[in-house]
Structures are given as structure tokens and as C-alpha cells.
Amino acid sequence: MRLVSYKTFKMVAVVIAMFVAGCTVSDAGDSANADTARAPAQSAAAPTPVTTSMPPAAPVPDTAKAPVVSSTTRVEVDLAARKLYLYEGDTRVATHAVAVGSSKWPTQTGEWTIKQVIFNPEWVPPDESWAEERDPKKSGAPNNPLGRAQLVYDLPRTIHGTNQPSSIGQAVSHGSIRMTNAEIVALAKRIMEANGAGKDDAWYARASSQRTEKFVVDLPTPVPIKVF
């Protein structure tokens, strides 16, 4: 009886030992299998994408609102004919009668550029002998010899309006070129429009009604003038 029990106990011990060993091998195998399974997953990970920075696109200039500027506008004054001609390129687009300098105070010949337009100019006596006793005249004054508008090219000589319209066509000025007030205003507006300095109707209406206010416009593109 004791013998059977001892054998039985021995067999049980052997079975237990085998069970424990089997469990140990199974854990190691599972661990190895798990490591093996993870390896491919890591190697199959997607590579980090490579990004290439592109240079910013060059800005496109907005020309939709750019003023229309003519570089072909020019003025010629024929002193003998007492005429002023406005050209666009080789085409004469306007002709105006003018008064020019007297024999004592002749209009200078030469070439310049018109850089400025003035509506309702004020008259300041130039530093010349004929003007020594003259007083300045405010914008819009009835006795202002410059009239309604002025084109500045070679101070004190300019192209301007007049308070003496009957002098047009004669050689009676002190060197400047006179036009009627209506024609100098029309010419001033046309030159402004052709050279990127045009104004709206409200601006011109104000310059016409506010006679005591001077309006100065600098031309972005000076206009060549030839006096001969």
C-alpha cells in the first residue's frame, strides 16, 4: 500500500514538472513570436515624407487702375505765325491763336518741358524792370493778367490766359504766350488727361467756380515744348 502511494506521488511530481517546463517554453516562444511580429511592422513603417519648399510666386502688378499716360504729347509755338500747336506723335490735334512777346520783350525761343498746370493762378511781379511798380494780383482778380489757367515751362515766361482777349494774335506781351481763357483751360485739361494727371468733372467744376482758390497740378510726365 505504501509502495503504491509512493509511486503515485512520484508520478504526480513528474507530471507537474513536465507541465511547468511546458509552460515556460510556451512563454518564451510567445515572447519570441511577439518580437518577430513586431519587427516587420516596424520595418514596414511609412518613411517620413520629404517636402520641397517652393519659392513664392512673383507678385503680378495691378495695372487695371494705372493711368493712361501719353509720352508723345508735345507743344510747338510758332512765333511768326502766332500759333500754338498740340501734337500727339506726328499728328497735329489742335491749333490755338496766341499773343507773343513784343519787340522790346520778345518771347524766348528754345526747348523746355511743361511740368505744371495751374488753375486760377496768382500773379507775382517778376524781377524785371517793367514790373517794378506792379502789385501782385490774387487768384480770380479781374485785373490778374494770367487769366484762368497757366502752363509752367520757363518761369517767369509761361503759357497762360489773359484779361485782355483782344490782344490775342498780336506781339504785345512781356515774353509769355497768351491764350484766351476758354482755350487755355481746354488745353490744360487735355494735357493733364494725356499725361496721367486727369481729374473728374467735379474737380474741374470746383476749379471753375472757386475762382479765388489756386489749384496746382504737377504733371507726372512733363510735356516737351518747342518755341521757334
145-202 pLDDT, tens digit each: 999 999 999 999 999 999 999 999 999 999 999 999 999 999 999 999 999 999 999 9
Dihedral of CA 137/192/107/109: which sign? Answer: positive
The CB-side HSE value for 122 (13 A sphere, CA atoms) comes to 11
Residue 37 in grid coordinates = 511580429
User: What is the predicted pLDDT for the residue at 71?
Assistant: 63
Distance, CA of 163 to CA of 178 (rounded, Å): 10
Confidence of residue 31 (pLDDT cuts 50, 70, 90): very low
Average pLDDT, the chain: 80
The CB-side HSE value for 3 (13 A sphere, CA atoms) comes to 0
Distance, CA of 80 to CA of 159 (rounded, Å): 16
- CATH 3.40.630.40 assigned to 73-227: no
Residue 28: pLDDT above 80? no
Global pTM value: 0.69
Confidence of residue 70 (pLDDT cuts 50, 70, 90): low
DSSP string, 80-101: TTTEEEEEETTEEEEEEE-BEE
